[in-house]
Structure 1
Amino acid sequence: MKKVGIIDSGVEVAFLREHAIALEGAACFTLDLDAQVLETRSYERPELDAWRAGESALDLEDTHGHGTAILSILYDQVRPWPDVELYVARVLDQGVRGHSLCLVEALGWMLDEVGVDLLNLSLGTTLRALEVPMREVIDRAVARGAVIACAAGGVPTLPAQLESVVSVGDPALMERANPDVKVDHVVQEREVKLYMGGRWMQAPMTTSFACAVAVAGVLRDGCPPGWRR
């Protein structure tokens, strides 16, 4: 069974409940800068099922909606929904902000501990100091056959710039991106259907959403030639 992962702002439990989607595993990564403590809380299927059923509260709730939108694109574009194990890591807060150290830790959890086969990263960082640990964990995963897709940025960002990562852009990005930005795949659509704020809607395409569209294509049609690094 394929393991699929999303590292983002969590997921709205109402979306999981409404669409009968189960999480096999999940984790939340937060950094207390004052105490200099990075905290990881991971959850397994029984705890996640109880959360979805309304029997408990977990710190995975998507208070912004971005992570839910990413999952909704996969759900909408891959029908019937495949027999996959779904994993979610929350590293972004309600302002879609997060620390790059949390991203590195989440990558380690997703790729080394869980061992996902396909990972959606609709985010990135310009902090080059973390390139080495990020590259190491990603290269290990790709060596065993994992596919990692990441949204490209207007300027070079990590992990999209890494050779082992499939960086994804959209038409608007291609019109304005810095020439040093690595883009391996361009989603041509200008709009996308997604779920945000408790409802389905059509939204303008962004690189974040384009990454999810590309990952949906892998789930639906298989891995395109050249995506295996």
Structure 2
Amino acid sequence: MTGQPARLLKLLIATAVFVVALLVPTSGLAVSQSPPKAVIGAGTINVPMLAVRSAPNKSARVIARLSEFRPQDYRARYVLAVGVKKGKKGKTEWYKITVPGRPNGRTGWVQAPHVAVKPMPWQVVVYRGTRVVQVWKKNELVYTGKIAVGAPGTETPTGLYYVTVRFKPVKVPFLGSFAFETSAYSKLSEWPGGGVVGLHGTTAPHLLGQAVSHGCVRMSNETANFMRDRIPLGTPIRILAS
């Protein structure tokens, strides 16, 4: 076969390969086997209203205020500490925390006595590109699973977040056997909870390995149940683009 028919055949083959590459789950690709960077810890708020400041100084600008309990359901609100500032005697005076809410990725400082921060051995790492989730306990990788992530236009946001709520879905069965709300927010503000990104099970496991959600991370019910039995509120969630 020569000339125009041959060129047409090559074009069709190349197009077919490209389409298959888009559809085939990428969870078989290699991901890092190195443990994620440790955080300081996580915990609850000790005051009715927590002032989050732009610097570890009582006169610094307040960039956010977090209530002790979530106003929508009165559950205890958790914070994730990623840095500390110690005083002259070595005592922790301030914690640097990640700030939940829009825009994603904000950090700020809170007075140490105003929060009950404890060490956090667990971490969840989400690889958005390869569509894999890892569960770590300190430096030990204890679980790896396949996931689905946000579709083009509603991509799952990258960054460091944490588990804010754990629950068993009742009225929303498509969330699978168990679900976790996170401190991340999707591009869709009209989505339930104002666009909160969740990690949850699924009733459509055949879609795992694809980019099909509104920003949430879908996983098998087996993975959701594994995480249900281990990771607590405040668990860090690192969402990576790779």
* TM-score bracket relative to the smaller structure: under 0.3
Considering fraction of residues, name the structure with more strand: 2
Considering fraction of residues, name the structure with more helix: 1
Greater RCO (CA < 8 Å, at least 6 residues apart): 1
After TM superposition, the score normalised by the length of structure 2 is 0.27
After TM superposition, the score normalised by the length of structure 1 is 0.28
